[in-house]
Chain A
Amino acid sequence: MATNPFAEYKWQALFTDWRLFADGLTVTIEVAIVALLVALLLGILFGVAGVFPNKNLRILNRVYVEFFQNTPLVIQVIFLYHALPHLKIILPVFAIGSLGIGIYTGAYMAEAVRSGILAIPRGQLEAGLSQGFTYFQAMQYLILPQAKKIILPSIANQGVNLIKNTSVLAMIAGGDLMYQADSWSGMNMYYGPAYIVTGLLYWLLCFPLTKYVKHLEGSSEVRS
């Protein structure tokens, strides 16, 4: 006979082991923050490279974006985990998670930054240059501040994807929330409470950000 997946004793077991889930949540948040910083940095650098007058830099942008957008994050992270040690590069799982997820999301952010910049009429850059701005000054003071409004909603949306994608750490025993839920419930078969609590915790992290994206999209529509 099938037992109740949400039986009271299963919930009690989960609350006894609450520290596991709290630790997992902490790792998830920490990895998400570091990965977000990596992704933002790479996104801005490669995004600007994508509109740069230098052709080689534009090619570099395409290679980065196309490669990382067209291969799975899972493969990229497992590569860092399984293949790099062959080259005597042994990274802790935390670094693998933050780097892997950061580089992957950075490709999406670079594309957001690039299309945001391209949405600003080129005449603005030319006007700036004719006023004696250097290319970088024109970018910094004229183009990027305007492009920011267009870029921000997609960046924030990628932030939500980034948080969800931290669950890839479960596949390399990364000690994140998904890993703790999977291994805890794999041991005692108390799937019901484990999945509900895990889903709820991820939802609490992502839902406010999703609402914020909606808000940003709404306000940028009104302005246009």
Chain B
Amino acid sequence: MVSDLMNIYLIKFLLEGLAVTLEISFFSIVFSVILGTLMGIVRYLNIPILKPLSNIYVDIVRNIPCLLFILVARFTTPLNPTLSGIAAMSFFTGAIMSEIIRGGLNSLSKGQIEAALSQGMSTFQIIRYIVLPQAYRNIIPPMMSQFTTVIKDSAFVWEVGTEELTGRGMILIGKYGSTGQVFTIFAAVAGLYFIVNYTLSHFARKQHNKMAVRSY
């Protein structure tokens, strides 16, 4: 019976899974943005040795499925399931973020940097106060779409036994296997992912429109 699922413990069980999904996604997003920004700057400034190294990292990592990194982090390091998921997803998404951020950096005109240099600003100041704020603003749409991809792809960590939202949904399906129950559980899990991602992309669109107006 579907009504068997309307149980506070089952709902809590699923929501705890959502919390793990959000935890993995949040830290993966933060770390990958940091990693991607550093790599993006290194490539933008043409820093010797570091630039070819970042190029190699990006060219290798973004052409390999995220799931492989999840397996590697889980089975060849001592990290626990959640941490290995964060490590793998940060490492993978960092390469994609680096490309997105580099695109944002390249969209700025060089004249601004020359102007800032002529005002006596240091390279760090230029990056921090002139280049990055504008670059981030230009790349809000692709970056936000990558954030939702991270949340969705975090479902892959179920493969290594992590009990996040997908994993917990599957545990419930193992226990409550009637047709109505299976469809209800799928609807609940998909619905939770949808609410999180739709809210995020909706917020991003609004934020982007607001900033786009301000830039004129």
Contact B183 A70 (CB under 8 A): no
Contact status of A66 and B63, CB under 8 A, knowing A74-B156, A167-B68: no
A199 to B68, CA, bound (A): 7
Hey, what's the 0/1 contact readout for A167-193 against B, CB within 8 Å counting as 1? 110110000001001100100000110
Q: Is A223 engaged at the interface, CB distance under 8 Å to the other chain?
A: no
Contact-residue size bin, chain B (C-beta under 8 Å from the other chain): 35 or more
Q: Which residues of B are found within 8 Å of A166, using beta-carbon distances? A: 65
- Give which listed residue, B63, B68, B182, B186, contacts A198 with CB less than 8 A: B68
Q: Which residues of A are found within 8 Å of B170, using beta-carbon distances? A: 78
Contact status of A72 and B68, CB under 8 A, knowing A83-B183, A86-B179: no
Q: Is the interface of B mostly helix, strand, loop or mixed?
A: helix
Q: Which residues of A are found within 8 Å of B62, using beta-carbon distances? A: 160, 206, 210
Contact A206 B64 (CB under 8 A): yes
A206 to B62, CA, bound (A): 9
Contact-residue size bin, chain A (C-beta under 8 Å from the other chain): 35 or more
Q: Is B190 engaged at the interface, CB distance under 8 Å to the other chain?
A: yes
Q: Which residues of A are found within 8 Å of B67, using beta-carbon distances? A: 167-168, 170, 178
Q: Is the interface of A mostly helix, strand, loop or mixed?
A: helix
Nearest residue, chain B, Cβ from A192: B76
Contact B64 A75 (CB under 8 A): no
Nearest residue, chain A, Cβ from B67: A167
A64 to B198, CA, bound (A): 13
Hey, what's the 0/1 contact readout for A74-91 against B, CB within 8 Å counting as 1? 111011001100110000
Q: What is the interface of chain A, defined by CB distance below 8 A to chain B?
A: 5, 66-67, 69-76, 78-79, 82-83, 86-87, 160, 164-168, 170-171, 178, 181-182, 185, 191-192, 195, 198-199, 202-203, 205-207, 210
Q: What is the interface of chain B, defined by CB distance below 8 A to chain A?
A: 59-60, 62-68, 71-72, 75-76, 148, 151-156, 158-159, 166, 169-170, 173, 179, 182-183, 186, 189-190, 193-194, 197-198, 201
CB pairs A–B below 8 angstroms (23 shown): A66-B198, A69-B197, A70-B197, A71-B190, A72-B152, A72-B166, A74-B152, A75-B186, A83-B182, A83-B183, A86-B182, A86-B183, A164-B65, A164-B66, A171-B158, A192-B76, A198-B68, A202-B63, A202-B68, A203-B60, A206-B63, A207-B59, A210-B63
